[in-house]
Amino acid sequence: MIATMSTLTQIESAVTGLPQQDQWTLLSWLQKLLSKTPPSETTSPTDRQAWLAELAELRAKTQTGKQGVPLQQLMDELREDRC
Protein backbone atom coordinates (compact mmCIF):
# COMPACT_ATOMS: atom_id res chain seq x y z
CA MET A 1 0.00 0.00 0.00
CA ILE A 2 1.30 3.45 -0.92
CA ALA A 3 1.21 6.04 1.86
CA THR A 4 -0.21 9.45 1.05
CA MET A 5 2.14 12.31 1.87
CA SER A 6 0.50 15.63 2.50
CA THR A 7 3.22 17.71 4.13
CA LEU A 8 6.58 18.87 2.92
CA THR A 9 8.23 17.18 5.90
CA GLN A 10 6.74 13.82 4.92
CA ILE A 11 7.86 14.25 1.31
CA GLU A 12 11.38 15.32 2.32
CA SER A 13 11.62 12.36 4.68
CA ALA A 14 10.55 9.94 1.93
CA VAL A 15 13.05 11.44 -0.55
CA THR A 16 15.85 11.29 2.00
CA GLY A 17 15.14 7.59 2.39
CA LEU A 18 15.73 6.95 -1.31
CA PRO A 19 19.09 5.81 -2.66
CA GLN A 20 21.14 8.73 -4.02
CA GLN A 21 20.70 7.61 -7.66
CA ASP A 22 16.90 7.60 -7.21
CA GLN A 23 17.07 11.05 -5.61
CA TRP A 24 18.91 12.36 -8.69
CA THR A 25 16.40 10.69 -10.99
CA LEU A 26 13.56 12.32 -9.08
CA LEU A 27 15.32 15.69 -9.10
CA SER A 28 15.87 15.49 -12.87
CA TRP A 29 12.24 14.60 -13.44
CA LEU A 30 11.07 17.49 -11.25
CA GLN A 31 13.38 19.93 -13.05
CA LYS A 32 11.95 18.91 -16.42
CA LEU A 33 8.41 19.16 -15.10
CA LEU A 34 8.93 22.56 -13.50
CA SER A 35 10.87 24.03 -16.42
CA LYS A 36 7.97 23.58 -18.83
CA THR A 37 6.33 26.86 -19.68
CA PRO A 38 2.77 26.92 -18.36
CA PRO A 39 0.05 27.67 -20.88
CA SER A 40 -0.67 31.33 -21.29
CA GLU A 41 -3.53 32.44 -19.12
CA THR A 42 -3.86 35.78 -20.81
CA THR A 43 -6.86 36.21 -23.03
CA SER A 44 -7.90 39.11 -25.14
CA PRO A 45 -10.77 41.36 -24.03
CA THR A 46 -12.80 39.98 -26.93
CA ASP A 47 -12.33 36.42 -25.67
CA ARG A 48 -13.34 37.46 -22.17
CA GLN A 49 -16.45 39.23 -23.40
CA ALA A 50 -17.44 36.20 -25.48
CA TRP A 51 -16.88 33.93 -22.50
CA LEU A 52 -18.94 36.18 -20.22
CA ALA A 53 -21.73 36.33 -22.83
CA GLU A 54 -21.73 32.52 -23.04
CA LEU A 55 -21.88 32.31 -19.25
CA ALA A 56 -24.78 34.77 -19.14
CA GLU A 57 -26.62 32.73 -21.79
CA LEU A 58 -26.09 29.55 -19.78
CA ARG A 59 -27.34 31.31 -16.66
CA ALA A 60 -30.48 32.44 -18.49
CA LYS A 61 -31.14 28.91 -19.75
CA THR A 62 -30.83 27.40 -16.29
CA GLN A 63 -32.70 30.09 -14.40
CA THR A 64 -35.55 28.80 -12.25
CA GLY A 65 -37.18 32.10 -11.40
CA LYS A 66 -35.31 32.44 -8.13
CA GLN A 67 -32.33 34.74 -7.93
CA GLY A 68 -29.24 32.56 -8.24
CA VAL A 69 -27.10 34.36 -5.73
CA PRO A 70 -24.05 32.07 -5.88
CA LEU A 71 -23.99 32.13 -9.68
CA GLN A 72 -24.51 35.88 -9.75
CA GLN A 73 -21.67 36.35 -7.29
CA LEU A 74 -19.46 34.18 -9.47
CA MET A 75 -20.28 36.23 -12.55
CA ASP A 76 -19.62 39.49 -10.71
CA GLU A 77 -16.27 38.20 -9.45
CA LEU A 78 -15.29 37.02 -12.92
CA ARG A 79 -16.14 40.40 -14.40
CA GLU A 80 -14.10 42.18 -11.73
CA ASP A 81 -11.08 39.88 -12.16
CA ARG A 82 -11.05 39.72 -15.94
CA CYS A 83 -12.14 43.18 -17.04
pLDDT per residue as tens digits for the range 44-74:
777 888 888 888 888 777 665 655 556 666 6
Domain assignment present for 69: yes
**For the chain, how many structural domains are there in total?**
1
Domain assignment present for 62: yes
Domain assignment present for 51: yes
Distance (Å, whole) CA 24 – CA 74:
44
What digits encode the pLDDT tens for the residues 25-46?
988 888 888 888 766 666 677 7
Report pTM.
Answer: 0.38
**Can you give the residue range of the structural domain that contains 61?**
45-82
Domain assignment present for 78: yes
Q: How far apart are the first and last CA of the chain?
A: 48
